[in-house]
């Protein structure tokens, strides 16, 4: 098997001329400089891969950090017969990035379904003549509007149009004169911003059936 990043050059850190595979052996022995060297070689590539999958800088940084900790603690799991150390590292990055993206997407979907279900209930009750229903509807809309108003303006408008005004994504794109993909992205990010408010939203958006 070809050994990656081997060099005969002298000077610099002792680990600078060590192959990636040997660096992992040193990491197994608790050599922090070996870990630093390995990260210096492949950290940028790892971050770029994580960012491409996670689509979020903070999440990408967390993934790279977590994988480095995993590498530090479990470098002995590397099997040189199955590929290079670099490939092993990037496979870990890809796997952890996918896991994190799926978790985030799942949380976003649950929030999306929750808010949409409650706002749909509000819309369905618009023709209800019961005074109690009208009161709950009005208070629910007002509280949701207050939450949305706390979002950055670029997120608040598409979220408001989608969940309070009932517009479809294409209609929002036409109304705001922005690409459809931008609408979806801003709504998704707007829902992310509502993460800390989700528990309050769950209580305040309850609608009498």
Does 202 or 37 have the greater pLDDT score?
37
| Opening angle at CA 76, ends 72 and 78, nearest 5 | 100
Query: Does residue 151 sit in helix, strand or coil?
Result: coil
- The CATH architecture that domain 125-204 belongs to is Orthogonal Bundle (1.10)
Conformational region of residue 7, where left means phi above 0, alpha means psi within -120 to 50, and beta covers everything else: beta
* pLDDT for the residue numbered 91: 94
Interhelix angle 32-54/57-74, nearest 10 degrees: 140
pTM greater than 0.85 (yes/no): no
Pairwise CA distance, residues 182 & 100, whole Å: 22
Which of 136, 139, 161 is closest to 148 using CA atoms? 161
DSSP string, 7-40: ----SS-GGGGS-HHHHHHHHHTT-HHHHHHHHH
* pLDDT for the residue numbered 156: 82
Cβ neighbours, 10 Å, residue 170: 10
What is the CATH code for 14-99?
1.10.1740.10
Domain spans of the chain, in order of start: 14-99, 125-204
Residue 56 structure tokens: 């979020």
Pairwise CA distance, residues 146 & 95, whole Å: 38
- What lies within 8 Å, CB to CB, of 105 at 6+ separation is none
List, for residues 141-189, the tens digit of each pLDDT value: 666 677 777 778 788 888 888 877 778 888 888 888 888 888 888 888 8
Least confident among 62-66, 71-75, 125-129, 172-176 = 125-129
List, for residues 115-144, the tens digit of each pLDDT value: 555 555 545 544 454 444 444 445 556 666
Pairwise CA distance, residues 111 & 19, whole Å: 47
């Amino acid at each position: 098997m070809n050994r990656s990043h081997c060099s005969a050059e002298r000077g610099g850190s002792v680990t600078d001329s060590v192959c990636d595979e040997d660096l992992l052996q040193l990491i197994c022995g608790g050599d922090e400089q070996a870990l630093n060297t390995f990260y210096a070689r492949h950290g940028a590539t790892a971050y770029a891969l994580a960012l491409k999958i996670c689509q979020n800088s903070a999440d990408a940084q967390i993934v790279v950090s977590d994988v480095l900790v995993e590498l530090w603690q479990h470098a002995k799991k590397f099997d040189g017969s199955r590929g290079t150390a670099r490939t092993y590292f990037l496979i870990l990055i890809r796997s952890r990035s996918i896991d994190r993206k799926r978790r985030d997407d799942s949380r976003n979907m649950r929030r999306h379904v929750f808010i949409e279900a409650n706002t749909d209930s509000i819309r369905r009750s618009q023709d209800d003549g019961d005074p109690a229903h009208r009161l709950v509807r009005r208070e629910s809309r007002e509280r949701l509007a207050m939450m949305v108003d706390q979002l950055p303006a670029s997120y608040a408008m598409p979220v408001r149009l989608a969940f309070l005004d009932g517009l479809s994504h294409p209609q929002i794109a036409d109304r705001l004169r922005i690409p459809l993909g931008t609408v979806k992205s801003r709504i998704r990010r707007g829902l992310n911003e509502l993460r800390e408010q989700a528990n309050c939203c769950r209580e305040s958006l309850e609608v009498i059936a």
